[in-house]
Amino acid sequence: MAAMAPLGRVVRLCSRICRNQRSVLRGPQRRGIASCIDPAHGLTDEQKEFQKVAFDFAANEMAPHMAEWDQKEVFPVETMRKAAQLGFGGIYVQPDVGGSGLSRLDTSVIFEALSTGCVSTTAYISIHNMCAWMIDTFGNAEQRERFCPDLCSMEKFASYCLTEPGSGSDAASLLTSAQPKGEHYILNGSKAFISGGGDTDVYVVMVRTGGKGPRGISCLVVEKDTPGLSFGKKEKKVGWNSQPTRAVIFEDCAVPASNRLGEEGQGFSIAMKGLNGGRINIGESKKRKNFTFQHKISFKIESSCSLGAAHACVQLAKDHLLVRKQFGETLSNNQASQTGAFKPYVKPDLTPWNSFSLQFLQFKLAEMATRLVASRLLVREAAKALQEGRSDAVSLCSMAKLFATDECFNICNQALQMHGGYGYLKDYAVQQFVRDSRVHQILEGTNEVMRMIISRNLLTES
């Protein structure tokens, strides 16, 4: 547990301060959670501690501002720096360069908790963490010391640049070129849909230094003030509005060769290991009819953030059923259970249809809770597989991303439906969880690509 020391110290410090009633995490405490959906089940005592820190931070520092950040499109830099003080700026970066040194499962637990306060902001924090991890893992000693401490403290912010206007799922066909010239690479091309683009300080960029295909891709770190680096207009999005999204443009942009991570031609492997968190066999992909589509299975970002959104929406739906009245009864009033039978008990002032309608919502809530827990179990199993380097890690990550993002979006959407017309108002948080979680089925490898990966694994392995 030595690697967990930085965040562990923060957890113990927060606990001590809370006991002395001088908590820096001011505000209302997290609402009670029904035991059947409690995300603390199965965690160690230490994991429960930093999960609580993340939940409290989400409730007190993020949730009260979530709607404002969304409507005004605010990039909450200072709030994220507060999160970094708790160890959330480099969760799975090594401690010797300022990281917390936690595991993939620990990371998933933290991102799920933070997402209950703001999915959009947590998603960016996750991308930032991934960039810091890539530099920590594939950079040399000088690069790690130069970039990682400021990224872990979030004094500087990072963006990941892989997707291009003409290469989404087919990432290996990227065209942004990096031609060697003396001690520099000269970059030309553009990247699309870059989270944090224009507002962040460090860009981890996949470029073509060689021939076609994945073996011709290298990875460079480009700093914001580099001549030849510019940005497109800020995109107007359905969700994820607390993080800016722009095109990143390179026009004869000279980047020092010393900023290359790893060797030339290693970039695609770095990209896939970063986004999947595990190993992608590039050579095997090439043999299989050149299926080098973008294995972007970063379950940490989409799946864990989707879990947080769904968890919050189950809570919101439960609260709504407890207080909302229709036909003289709260929506939570289950007459069938009071009679000891599954058939609806019909009061004289309620028609059978109305009684069925009330019970229908209760059954829907039960289904939502079941799908939430099933998604969480699959995501955590995939996280363990990655941490252990198991052979089924890639397929499990694909399954986790596919299942969790689909099911959790459906949970959020059903919660909105339960709110009726109120759910469609921006005064109610449920609509923002729906908008912010929808994109998880699209980015970092569409769910259609996840199905391709899973089916290919099933059909090719004996």
Cα–Cα distance for residue pair 53/70, rounded to 1 Å:
24
Predicted local confidence at residue 290, as pLDDT: 36
Token pair of 91, please? Answer: 């969760």
Helix (H) / strand (E) element for 194: namely strand 184-195
Is residue 298 over pLDDT 90?
no
Distance CA 169, CA 160 (A): 15
What is the pTM (predicted TM-score) of this model?
Answer: 0.86
Beta strand 245-256 with 184-195 is antiparallel
Class of domain 301-335+354-460 (CATH, top level):
mainly alpha
**∠ CA 264-269-275, rounded to 5°:** 135
- HEC per residue, 78-90: HHHHHHHHCCCCC
The domain defined by 45-156 folds into: Butyryl-Coa Dehydrogenase, subunit A; domain 1 (1.10.540)
Query: How confident is the model over 344-401, as pLDDT tens digits?
Result: 444 444 444 455 556 788 899 999 999 999 999 999 999 999 888 888 888 898 999 9
Q: What is the CATH number of domain 159-275?
A: 2.40.110.10
Structure token pair of residue 342? 């599954």
| Residues 121, 401, 286: CA angle, nearest 5 degrees | 115
Taking the C-alpha atoms of residue 150 and residue 89, their distance in angstroms, rounded to an integer, is: 9
In terms of DSSP H, where are the helices of 75-157? 77-85, 104-115, 119-138, 141-152
Structural domain boundaries of the chain? Answer: 45-156, 159-275, 301-335+354-460
Distance from C-alpha of 184 to C-alpha of 174, rounded to nearest angstrom: 20
Active site residues: 444
C-alpha–C-alpha distance, residues 157 and 139, integer Å: 17
Per-residue pLDDT at 9: 53
Q: pLDDT band at 139, cuts 50/70/90?
A: very high
How much is the mean pLDDT over the chain? 85
DSSP, res 176: -
